[in-house]
Structure 1
Amino acid sequence: MIDVFSWATPNGHKIHIMLEECGLPYRAIPVNIGAGDQFAPDFLAISPNNKIPAITDPEGPDGKPISLFESGAILVYLAGKTGKFLPARDRARYEVLQWLMFQMGTVGPMLGQTNHFRQYAKEKIPYAIERYSNEARRIYGVIDKRLSHSEWLGCSEYSIADIATFPWLRSWQNQGIVLDEHPHLKAWFEKIAARPAVQRAVTVLAGLRKPLMDDKAREVLFGKTQYEKH
């Protein structure tokens, strides 16, 4: 059984969705990032960047246990382990991987900053809010254009590119997005949201997450605790 050390965030839900879609047995171990669980030595041993998610698989590729951090790497690993959601054909495989990298390098970081400055920052900085809200609209436009001529984000098949990107777009309202302005993206989003595996996955650990962030959690996530040696 795979252990997934996670929390109910977009990056956590990527892996929850993949595990549910693949039908792999797993155990979700909560890492409360607002309480500082990500700095525990046992967690840092498998995730040295102190970020969720991370996994341990007792049945690694050589028959020995393996641990992995970084959600994109975990998705590629699980796709390789199961032969699902990453095409074997070279062209389609590279198309999927480029959109996975787009999620890892652009969608996640930029929408993360959008959420931060619009929702969580104690000081409302107009320049930052405008900067990242505009970037969010640009990103949604890029995805919508892609989906105007492709049923799925990565290739002609549902893949880890879709699985990685979908959770980050669930907060579209908080990101200042009007979903109706992106009709191709909206249709894609609703199609993924209707998948039974996705519906199960987005409930994983969700009951443990506080809807509002208190000052202690804000300090742990964004303050000096984040930059101390652990």
Structure 2
Amino acid sequence: VTANIASALAMTGKKVVAIDADIGLRNLDVVMGLENRIVYDLVDVIEGRCRLRQAMIKDKRQPDLYLIPAAQTRDKMAVSPSDMLLVCDELRQEMDYIIIDSPAGIERGFRNAVAPADEVLIVTNPEVSAVRDADRIIGLLEAEEKGPGRLIINRLKPEMVARGDMLSIEDVLDILAVDLIGVIPEDESILISSNRGTPVAMSGTNGSSASQAFRNVAQRLQGETVPFVDLTPKTGLLNRLNSWFSKS
């Protein structure tokens, strides 16, 4: 999700840096296709082995997109919330958006990611256990005076919702009671794009519904009013017609 939101923002002409805050388990570099260009990482910056600019990897496809990778051989205690505040204060001078990829859970990595945040986006799958975890995160954010955050529902399958086998958007919103900023449908193009090291948001206007959904999130982050993608499952004659035309 982080890679796609950062990419979608950069595609609108904003200067964006994505920070992988998952120390010890980095993967944002792989998803963005930048793993072979890493020289320095976030911990190198914090421990003074390089300047911040030296750790920033510039994406060759989107000139306004940068990545600061996580250290792979250190644990989360190598970075503190105050370290993240200092790094982000420096980045604010030249970047329009700083997108921090928080590790799962509520331990040190979560606190590091949240400390410098002006706004928090909570990503959850429409599953009971995931929504319960998201509810706990919202409580922690309010305790930290970071607000309730805004919600992205990820990997929604309209067909399963229609059958009653998956929580609906309304179900999730009723439980969490926070503002919705995006709904990302389950889409095989996300997996294909990740394996290729190209965020699906970069696929342009002719891309998948997931690609469009990420671009819509980027527009909403910039204050635009954008309708949500219609994820109603197609049924009956319309479904058969769409299937027939897709094969023609």
> What TM-score do you get using the length of structure 2 for normalisation?
0.31
- Which of the two has higher C-alpha Rg? 2
> What TM-score do you get using the length of structure 1 for normalisation?
0.32
